[in-house]
A and B are shown apart, each in its own frame.
Chain A
Amino acid sequence: MNFTSLFFSHRTLWALAALWMLGMHGAGSAAEVQVAVAANFSAPMQKIAAAFESQTGHRVRTAVGSSGKLATQIKAGAPFDVFLSADSQTPLTLEADGLSVAGSRFTYATGRLALWSRQADLVDAQGAVLRKGNFSYLAIADPRLAPYGAAALEVLKSLGLWPSLQARIVQADSVGQSYQFIASGNAELGFVAWAQVQAPPQTGSVWLVPANLHAPLRQDAVLLQKGKSNPAAQAFLPFLKSPQAQAIILSYGYAIDP
């Protein structure tokens, strides 16, 4: 007895095959783009993907992770067409390795850093809470791995608070986890992406860290070699620069370079 026939009749198999062929050719010019997205941009990306799909008929698949992990996967041959990094450094290294299409790199958003607590009265509008020090844990993303973590470290250093606060810092794997440490109340406050505290529910207290306290959080996008001849990938990057996509990006608190 044939193994597959245990599960499917031959008629079902033929029907499935026919459906698959229709899916391949029936949709005409529709193609699929696989986008690797840095964790902090995950929420706006969902909206952008939906808008892109309804406008072009192409399909978007996203893989969310830290920029470092995604870059490692791309170097190992991951099937991504487009990479939206959380920084400008990682796309540069991919370009140097010949993994991205030269000339495709651009800044799609500039992030802002926020100091956030779920307690309504802990963080003040000037960030003076850092000097008062009435907390036991301050969460940041690992500065070695996450650009928002590196920016947080820069802020603490430029305020001259790094030596005194160092012992109270807990490091998260990404800004996503930093948010979780704070949201669960285990760390009273911490640095997250401003975009993360724009999504509801907007609770607690927050300080939008002045942009002059750290290097700009420029987030760059590149077209990867795998996506070079993919029509959906070629259409996606210009869409990311369109007014429609930019409105979504701005609504999450990112800035856009003129």
Chain B
Amino acid sequence: MSVLLSPDDLRSVALTLELAALSTAVLLALTLPLAWWLAHTRSQWRTPIAALAALPLVLPPTVLGFYLLLFWGPDGWGGQLTQWLGLGRLPFTFAGLVLGSVIYSLPFALQPLLHAFEQIGRRPLELAAMLRASPTDAFFSVALPLARPGILTAAVLSFAHTVGEFGMVLMLGGNIDGQTRVVSTQIYGHVEAQEYGQAHALAALMVAFSFAVLLYLQWSRAAKARGAP
């Protein structure tokens, strides 16, 4: 493969994997409590918050990228906040892409978790409470293990979805080698420059990766249906 992939191509692959791994970690930390809350709350805020969290699912990525560019820019509240905190500005940085990806892939982490928590229901937790487990204890020793397949699906989906993001990165990234130039923007650049050979090599890698991910998800669903662990 390295015969076909140039050093910049390989750097973009490494950067993409790093971005997807970091975003997935942040997403799980964020969506586990959020999904738990959404699954159990009776608050009137549940519906608007669930709708807001699903918004990135239907918005074109360029809309997301465009608004993030304005929001995190010098005139935006987000940009003024990060500057006030002494963090500088987020557009054209790797940190900015991680945060952007977290927003972009949020529904892909949240939905499987929410589904898993809703399926578990209250019963196992009530049993845990009867056995005098504290709510925190019950969450970690009962709910999380039961939700394991959902957590795995959430992780795989958010990783894969982040690897495949394009429009947002193009808007927000600035195409900086080793900083914000990911595989999808690198492919775009190759196609635009009519370097079809290099575009093919990277694009084929993307197709193979995405197919493997979907194959894994189908396989794990089938295994679950058969009652395997």
Q: A residues within 8 Å of B by Cβ?
A: 66, 68-69, 71-72, 137, 139, 142, 144-145, 169-173, 177, 180-181, 184-187
Contacts and interface: CB of A to CB of B under 8 A. Distances in A.
A170 B176 contact: yes
Contact of A170 (B72, B92, B191): B92
Contact of B175 (A71, A72, A173, A186): A173
Nearest to B170: A173
B87 to A, nearest CB: 13
B194 A68 contact: yes
B194 A186 contact: no
B174 A170 contact: yes
Contacts of A71: 194
Contacts of B103: none
A170 B92 CA distance: 7
B144 interface: no
Nearest to A71: B194
Interface string B163-191: 00000001100111000000000001101
A139 to B, nearest CB: 8
Contacts of A144: 189, 192-193
Contacts of B75: 184-185
Contact of A69 (B70, B171, B175, B192): B192
Contact of A186 (B92, B176, B189, B193): B92
Given A68-B192, A71-B194, A171 B176 contact: yes
A220 B92 CA distance: 33
Given A71-B194, A170-B92, A185-B75, A137 B174 contact: yes
Contact of B73 (A72, A142, A173, A184): A184
A145 B189 contact: yes
Given A137-B92, A185-B75, A68 B193 contact: yes
Contact of B70 (A145, A171, A184, A187): A184
B89 interface: yes
Interface of B: 69-70, 72-75, 89, 91-92, 170-171, 174-176, 188-189, 191-194
Contacts of B176: 169-171
Contacts, number: 57
Given A173-B170, A186-B91, A66 B192 contact: yes
Given A137-B92, A170-B175, A173-B170, A186 B69 contact: yes
A185 B73 CA distance: 6
B6 to A, nearest CB: 13
Contacts of A186: 69, 72-74, 89, 91-92
B64 to A, nearest CB: 15
A195 B6 CA distance: 36
Given A171-B174, A172-B175, A173-B170, A72 B89 contact: no
Interface centre among A142, A144, A185 (most CB of B within 10 A): A185
A244 B117 CA distance: 68
20 contacts: A68-B192, A69-B191, A72-B194, A145-B189, A169-B176, A170-B176, A171-B175, A172-B174, A173-B175, A173-B188, A173-B192, A177-B170, A177-B171, A180-B69, A181-B69, A181-B174, A184-B75, A186-B72, A186-B89, A186-B91
Interface centre among B171, B188, B194 (most CB of A within 10 A): B194
B103 to A, nearest CB: 17
Interface centre among A172, A173, A187 (most CB of B within 10 A): A173
A36 to B, nearest CB: 15
Contacts of A69: 191-192
B45 to A, nearest CB: 32
